[in-house]
Structure 1
Amino acid sequence: MSMNYIHEVKLPAGDLQVYAGAKLFQSLDYKIFEMANNNLQIPNIQFMSYTPDVHVGVGTCIGTTAVWSCEDGYVSPSIVGSDIGCGMRVQLTNLHSRDLQDVNVRRKLVRAIEKLLPMESHPRGHFSDIRLEHVVTKGLHGLPGKYIPDSYTPKRSTSLTHVESSRFAFDESVLSTMPEQAIHRAHRQLGTLGGGNHFVEIQAIEIAESQRSIAEAWGLYDGQIAVMIHSGSRAWGAAVNQQCTEPMRRTMGQLGLGTADPKLVFAPLDHPDGERYVNLMYSALNYAVVNRHLIGYAVREAFRSVLGTGCEMRTLYDLMHNYAWEERTRGGRVFVHRKGATRALPPGHPDNPKPYMATGHPALIPGSMGTSSYLMVGRPQGEDNYYSICHGAGRIRSRSATKQLVSVQEFERALKVGSADEIVVNQRSLASIIDESPQAYKNVDDIIESVTGAGLADVVAQCKPLAAVKGAR
């Protein structure tokens, strides 16, 4: 571990840890330090850090870990992020990359996924056998059995076990405060992808030789086809934010709380506004994990429609990178916020789910369109950063700046359009998603090097992109 990757920045309101290689650290925008200083003014904050993919967000940077004691702590919707429970899911197949060598097979798969997976909302009546109140209160356990395709083979079942959490318990009485309209809208968006940086990507796995034993324990092999899914809590999370932010802002005025940034909203954990937000946030975490599961269900059906029923698909892992919850550390009970940060636990950590207790769980890190993604595993010294690592490549320029600076031709070259190795994309016009081109993001390999260099996690496998499905903005 090199100290070149860990920087302690002393700001007027407190100390900030930044995990980044020298080149990335020097390229950071001064605004992220302004935002950190505002965050550090929230009372009783115990710790704050940035991951190497950090970039400016609303109220708080994406790439933030912020920690309070549960005894006198605060909760902030701004440090959770607007897409509550947004996260990653990876599903493993029994296919090899040679099965998808033909670009036409990849095109068929993309078309089949598009047919079965709506980007924005389902027609009325779809999923009529799924009740939204069951989803938001019971998580994956609220789904009818037919949507858990491996429920008949418990020994091989992964849907309920290979997840960060299959159900978040909370005080369900808060649901009565949510408007009826939000419930209908959220039901129609269940199992939909959304736009922006959300995606379904078909990838080929390449195992890191130094971690082959962990990779094999996870069921990975070289050339294996995997599917990576990135989505969150859709309309339900947005409604939770809408319902909680204004009352919390008024409470801040009454309590004399605030910073230089009016968009940074927070409340004490033991205040009714703080309690209400935490409970509703957990309902959105339940929604988010079910949403990714149902996207995975649609993708599995699409694969089987193109490649036959011999095509198997199981869950490697599902985890979040926008949330806040209680964790136990050597210092006792703490309330940890992660906004655009992924938890990466080492082998033996008691919070690992049972199947991953011996190895540590897979930390799922997407790249950008046209670049590799990574499967990582936490290291013991990650405890210094509350086991937080990056959540992706991290934007280097805004959507509007990307549209001005990047040409469709440059985007096509990044996707190898027209070659046998083309990364097939569902959008008919690349111009519609140019703000998601690789040129909009930092170099993911620099991000990963910062994480490994700081001793937070190791690479278990690299995932090379073969095809991607995205919603237009």
Structure 2
Amino acid sequence: MDTNRQVKYHGNNHREVQLPHGSVHVFANDAVFETFEQKVYDMADNNLRIPRHVYMSYTPDAHIGVGTCIGTTAVWNMRDGFVSPSIVGVDIGCGMRVHLTPLHKRDLQDKQVRRQLIDAIEKYVPSNERKNSNYADIDIMDVVQHGLHGLPASYVPDERWLTHVEESTFRYDHSFLEHLPGKIKKNAHGQLGTLGSGNHFCEIQYVEIDESNRELAAKWGMFDGQVIVMIHSGSRAWGAMLGREYTKTLREAMHSWGVTNPDPNLIYAPINSTEGQRYLHLMYSALNFAVSNRHMIAFGVREAFRDVFGSECEVPVLYDLMHNYALKEFHREQPMLVHRKGATRALPAGHYLNTAAYKETGHPALIPGSMGTSSYIMLGSEHGLKNFYSICHGAGRIRSRRATREAVKVDEFEQSLKVGTEDEILVNHRTLERILDECPQAYKDVDQIIDSIVGAKLASVVAKCKPMAVVKGI
């Protein structure tokens, strides 16, 4: 880091770094803060060139992305602000979902049982195919218009599946669907209930409840040793095509307006412009696809658990949330557009944006680790207001996929997964070489990330979630 840069320390792992075009707030402990490279700050300064910004920050998992770092929160007033596909990300609506089970980790101690469960999940959530033929009766247009309420009732096991989510339906003007990219329906058809590749996964874990939040965990239906399912996926081809199309469209608009930025990959438009409005409304269609996709993955997982453990086995929803989006929220008594790219909203007890099911307690904030390491379930704090209630979204990469394959050997990955032991973290792939770029060595230390968030008083730990088996897409 440039030692000449002005840094103001606010205490509690909170620094404000002054850059030529504004300041970026960084929430990280000392060890993590020192790992931030110069390009992270260069990208922040490029983002801060966008006019009339209200606020920008990095969570401790921040790392280089396209146009904007993953781990960014950026805010503009709705009245005269800007929207940026680059500060949303291509995988619009990508996020997390957790389901509880009545099982204890000892019920999955036998590796054969875990292997049987992996095979059952792959039956309903095919990991080696782009399409899922199990749900051919679902009309994709119903889903992108109405979210979870566009699904047939047969795919909604109980009311919790509609109420224990950040949003069940994102409302927007459906007339904007006239501006969809060509072939988007064809490419996204059949993708509901599919993981996708990269860092997306379905992981079987068991929880260790944090002593400080034991009573809260019980209210949420959690207990020590409980088996849970954590799902990470997004809007698949629907969001990817929208992201690419409107990056191109807004880039052309910027050129016609004479707007430039040192980073050609940083794209933005006034919220109230024709292009800005079109992107925002169609982005909401992708958010509807994303929450419905995770819902259908979870439905498949439920079927798999019932195949293995009996038809009476239920897997109630804990929560579903996103970490790539831009939403209108009220802050400082004003409507603002809050972009979160690789950042998780973590609302405290009593906050008006909480879904009714979590109004009293605050909602679970779901933070995945890297493959083979622990994940976390957290609770937002009132102090989170200083960061627009944003916390981390995971561990954050420290190596690109290519660099990981060059630097890490398969046997190191095997050690991380405890291969050959009774506690082996089983995976659906028969060779780890195929998913080497998702090994823990590609990521920051998630425990340091969580320490940074807790130390910043943005959130507290409710449970640590330890992996037992993982289903990864290709």
Short-chain TM bin: over 0.9
Question: Is 1:130 aligned with 2:138?
Answer: yes
Shift in Å at residue 128 of structure 1?
2.8
The TM-score, its normalising length taken from structure 2, stands at 0.96
1:37 to 45, 70, 86: 45
Residues in 1 aligned to 2:136 and 2:415: alpha-carbon distance in whole angstroms: 43
Map residues 51-200 of structure 1 onto 2, 5 A cutoff. Answer: 51-119=59-127, 120-122=129-131, 126-150=134-158, 157-179=159-181, 181-200=183-202
Q: Which residue of 2 aligns with 1:47?
A: 55
**In 2, are the aligned partners of 1:344 and 1:377 still within 8 Å (CA)?**
yes
Tell me by how many angstroms 1:191 deviates.
1.0
Cα offset, 1:434, TM superposition: 0.4
Which whole-Å CA distance do the structure 2 matches of 1:241 and 1:449 have between them? Answer: 33
Distance, in Å, in 2 between the alignment partners of 1:90 and 1:42 is 36
Identify the residue that residue 201 of structure 1 maps to in structure 2: 203
Aligned to 1:332: 334
Shift of 1:256: 2.2
Letter in 2 for 1:110: I
Determine the structure 1 residue equivalent to 2:396.
Answer: 394
1:85 Cα deviation after fit: 0.1
CA offset at residue 331 of structure 1? 3.8
**Mapped partners of 1:179, 1:62: distance in 2:** 25
Q: Structure 1 pair 400/368, CA: closer, same or farther in 2 (3 Å)?
A: same
User: Equivalent pairs: percent with the same residue?
Assistant: 59
Q: Tell me which amino acid in the other structure corresponds to 2:288.
A: N
Note the C-alpha offset of 1:116: 1.5
Paired with 1:415 and 1:441, the residues of 2 have a C-alpha distance of 15
Relative to the length of structure 1, the TM-score reads: 0.97
Query: Aligned to 1:188, what secondary structure does the other structure show?
Result: coil
For residues 175 and 415 of structure 1, the distance between their equivalents in structure 2, rounded to whole angstroms, comes to 45
Q: Which amino acid aligns with 1:310?
A: E
Contact 2:49 2:261 in 1 (8 A): yes
1:276 and 1:407 map into 2 onto residues whose CA distance is 46
Residue 3 of structure 2 corresponds to none
How many Å separate the matches in 2 of 1:449 and 1:331? 31
Question: 2:353 corresponds to which residue?
Answer: 351
Task: Tell me which amino acid in the other structure corresponds to 1:381.
Answer: H
The answer on whether the counterparts of 1:95 and 1:311 sit within 8 Å (CA) in structure 2 is no
Summarize deviations over 1:22-72 as a string: whole Å, max 9, x none: 011011111000000000000111100000000000000000000000100
Counterpart amino acid of 1:9?
Answer: V
CA distance in 2, matches of 1:39, 1:100: 47
Which of 246, 249, 252 is the matching residue for 2:248? 246
User: Which residue is equivalent to 1:268?
Assistant: 270
CA distance in 2, matches of 1:290, 1:213: 31
- The match for 2:5 is none
Structure 1 CA distance for aligned equivalents of residues 404 and 76 of structure 2: 36
C-alpha separation in 1, matches of 2:135 and 2:114 = 28
Q: CA deviation at 1:335?
A: 0.5
Deviates more, 1:459-468 or 1:307-316: 307-316
How many Å separate the matches in 2 of 1:406 and 1:126? 37
1:317 has 2:326 as partner: no
Which residue identity lines up with residue 127 of structure 1 in the other structure? Y
Return the alpha-carbon distance in structure 2 between the equivalents of residues 33 and 292 of structure 1. Answer: 33
Query: Where do 5+ consecutive residues of structure 2 fail to align?
Result: 1-8
Give the letter aligned to residue 138 of structure 2. Answer: I
Alignment partner of 1:49: what SS? strand
SS of equivalent residue, structure 1 residue 160:
helix
Q: Once the 2 structures are TM-superposed, how far is the Cα of residue 378 of structure 1 from its aligned partner?
A: 0.4
Instruction: Name the SS for the 1:46 alignment partner.
Output: strand
Aligned twin of 1:284 = 286
How many residue pairs were aligned? 465
Conserved 8 A contact 1:121-1:190 = no
Partners of 1:455 and 1:4 lie apart in 2 by 7
Measured after TM superposition, the shift of residue 121 of structure 1 is 2.4
Unaligned runs of 5+ residues in structure 1 are 151-156
8 Å contact from structure 2 (residues 10, 16) kept in 1: no
Distance of 1:246 and 1:460 partners within structure 2: 42
CA contact (8 A) 2:124 2:134 kept: no
Per the alignment, in what secondary structure is the counterpart of residue 135 of structure 2? coil
- Give 1:153's aligned residue: none
How far is the alpha carbon of 1:310 from its aligned partner? 2.4
> After TM superposition, what 4+ stretches of structure 1 lie above 4 angstroms from structure 2?
none
